[in-house]
């Protein structure tokens, strides 16, 4: 990095200045003490800010990195200025696929069926066809039996979520109950099927259940507003929730890859299953997300259900922290790892051989 780069970052409000001391008699000033925070902040920016890259992308990656656990032998990455973080989050969210689709739906609402058709066409271009990961328990059972391993869940294509976007832009009546049931099932919410959602929505229409408050859907269509209104502490908390849920999600996924099933790990999975949240986490969490994906996931983690799930999982972990302790094996994590590798080596081949 060069002196001009450092000065540019300071002017942009991304780097504080070292404390300086005057030399008196018009001789200028010198750095009084090198601030480690300034040094580490500059290093973080240099890692993420390549030539020609938008500075806001680098800020998002810096903010994400600052929330990761500190590895042995390393120093904690300082936090970027929260004002720059908020600006970068808003910028990324406004350009995200979800917000672009919502904006398109609202603009196209006047066109009626033609607008719906145009929205579906845009969604097919922007959203990849994906049903979500197969349930890790099914993957594990197939591996242990030497059978074909399922890859995707048996849910509607994630592009069905466009029906929720249509409801935001055109209204729930225009979208239709059947399409909305398909969209809710595609989201993985509560791990319910299309038929489950059709029954629930139908019961609400017939007055057998409380009516659906579609106004909440309009609120969910605005993921930028909550970020604008959030305090710095709330943004940092959402990041902690995201990082924590990513870890719990990873452990759940690894169950499908024959991770030894200790009582503590099984208890964590049961908590996630009780909330019906694995499919939702699967859609939301990327193990190597882009800055925009990170921004979208962080905005989602500002919602109470995700914060509450995180707290529930922390509570469970506190009750039984021995997630890497195989019953009857007093070698701890080392024995856990050896058990995992041995299980993988002893897998039956295709056809159960």
CB burial of 78-97 (b: ≥16 within 10 Å; e: otherwise) equals: bbbbeebbbebbbbbbeebe
Q: Average pLDDT in the 98-122 region?
A: 83
pLDDT tier at 338 (50, 70, 90 boundaries)?
very high
**Of 178, 202, 220, which residue sits at a domain end?**
220
Considering the domain architecture, whether residues 233 and 304 belong to the same structural domain is answered as: yes
Question: Phi and psi (nearest 5°) for 253?
Answer: -65, -40
pLDDT tier at 156 (50, 70, 90 boundaries)?
low
Q: Average pLDDT in the 306-316 region?
A: 97
Considering the domain architecture, whether residues 257 and 296 belong to the same structural domain is answered as: yes
Considering the domain architecture, whether residues 119 and 205 belong to the same structural domain is answered as: yes
- pTM exceeds 0.75: yes
Q: What is the pLDDT of residue 315?
A: 97
**Of 177, 192, 220, which residue sits at a domain end?**
220
**Residue 11 belongs to a domain:** yes
Residue 162: Cβ within 10 Å count: 26
Rounded to an integer, what distance in angstroms lies between the CA atom of residue 128 and that of residue 178?
22
DSSP, collapsed to helix, strand or coil, labels residue 168 as helix
Nearest to 54 by CA among 88, 10, 20: 88
Rounded to an integer, what distance in angstroms lies between the CA atom of residue 198 and that of residue 193?
9
> Per the structure, how many domains does the chain have?
3
Torsion from C-alpha of 36, 39, 40, 43, nearest 10 degrees = -170
Does residue 260 carry a pLDDT above 90?
Answer: yes
The answer to whether 234 and 93 are in contact (CB under 8 A) is no
Q: Average pLDDT in the 266-277 region?
A: 94
As a whole-number percent, the residues of the chain with pLDDT over 70 amount to 92
Q: What is the pLDDT of residue 268?
A: 97
Domain that holds residue 113: 97-220
Rounded to an integer, what distance in angstroms lies between the CA atom of residue 312 and that of residue 305?
10
Rounded to an integer, what distance in angstroms lies between the CA atom of residue 100 and that of residue 92?
11
Q: What is the pLDDT of residue 158?
A: 67
As a whole-number percent, the residues of the chain with pLDDT over 90 amount to 41
Q: What is the pLDDT of residue 309?
A: 97
Rounded to an integer, what distance in angstroms lies between the CA atom of residue 187 and that of residue 155?
9
Considering the domain architecture, whether residues 48 and 69 belong to the same structural domain is answered as: yes
DSSP, collapsed to helix, strand or coil, labels residue 334 as helix
Distance of CA 153 to the CA centre of its chain: 19
**Residue 87 belongs to a domain:** no
Q: Average pLDDT in the 78-107 region?
A: 91
pLDDT tens per residue, range 128-141: 777 778 889 999 99
Q: Average pLDDT in the 280-285 region?
A: 87
Residue 16: Cβ within 10 Å count: 13
The answer to whether 265 and 255 are in contact (CB under 8 A) is yes
Higher-confidence position of 173 and 18: 173
Q: Average pLDDT in the 31-37 region?
A: 61
Considering the domain architecture, whether residues 277 and 342 belong to the same structural domain is answered as: yes
Q: What is the pLDDT of residue 32?
A: 46
Task: Give Cβ neighbours of residue 53 (< 8 Å, ≥ 6 apart).
Answer: none
The answer to whether 68 and 79 are in contact (CB under 8 A) is no
pLDDT tier at 13 (50, 70, 90 boundaries)?
confident
Considering the domain architecture, whether residues 70 and 182 belong to the same structural domain is answered as: no
**Of 26, 47, 80, which residue sits at a domain end?**
80
Q: Average pLDDT in the 312-338 region?
A: 94
DSSP, collapsed to helix, strand or coil, labels residue 209 as coil
Q: Average pLDDT in the 41-64 region?
A: 89
Q: What is the pLDDT of residue 28?
A: 53
pLDDT tens per residue, range 85-97: 999 999 999 999 8
Tell me the CA distances in angstroms from 23 to 16, 30, 94, 180, one per residue in order: 21, 7, 48, 71
pLDDT tier at 34 (50, 70, 90 boundaries)?
low
Question: Phi and psi (nearest 5°) for 25?
Answer: 55, 35
């Amino acid at each position: 990095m060069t002196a001009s780069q450092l000065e540019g970052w300071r002017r942009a409000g991304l780097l504080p200045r070292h404390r300086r001391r005057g030399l008196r008699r018009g001789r200028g000033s010198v750095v009084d003490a090198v601030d480690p925070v300034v040094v580490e902040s500059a290093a973080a920016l240099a890692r993420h800010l390549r030539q020609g890259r938008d500075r806001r992308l680098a800020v998002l990656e810096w903010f994400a990195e600052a929330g990761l656990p500190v590895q042995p032998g390393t120093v904690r990455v300082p936090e970027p200025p929260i004002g720059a973080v908020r600006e970068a989050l808003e910028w990324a969210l406004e350009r995200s696929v979800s917000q672009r689709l919502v904006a398109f739906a609202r603009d196209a609402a006047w066109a009626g069926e033609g607008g719906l058709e145009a929205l579906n066409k845009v969604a097919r271009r922007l959203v990849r066809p994906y049903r979500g990961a197969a349930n890790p328990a099914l993957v594990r059972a197939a591996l242990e039996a030497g059978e074909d391993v399922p890859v995707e869940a048996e849910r509607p294509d994630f592009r069905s979520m466009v029906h929720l976007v249509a409801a935001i832009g055109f209204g729930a009546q225009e979208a239709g109950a059947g399409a909305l049931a398909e969209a809710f099932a595609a989201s993985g919410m509560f791990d319910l099927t299309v038929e489950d959602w059709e029954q629930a929505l139908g019961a609400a229409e017939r007055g057998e259940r409380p009516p659906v408050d579609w106004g909440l859907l309009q609120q969910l269509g605005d993921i930028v507003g909550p970020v604008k209104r959030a305090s710095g502490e709330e943004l940092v908390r959402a990041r902690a929730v995201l990082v924590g849920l990513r870890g719990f999600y990873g452990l759940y996924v690894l169950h499908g890859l024959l991770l030894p099933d200790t009582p503590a790990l099984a208890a964590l999975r049961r908590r996630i299953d009780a909330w019906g949240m694995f499919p939702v986490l699967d859609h939301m969490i990327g193990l190597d997300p882009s800055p925009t994906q990170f921004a979208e996931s962080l905005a989602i983690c500002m919602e109470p259900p995700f914060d509450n799930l995180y707290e529930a999982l922390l509570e469970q972990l506190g009750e039984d922290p021995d997630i890497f302790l195989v019953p009857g094996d007093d070698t701890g994590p080392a024995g856990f790892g050896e058990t995992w590798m041995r299980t993988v080596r002893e897998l039956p081949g295709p056809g159960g051989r």
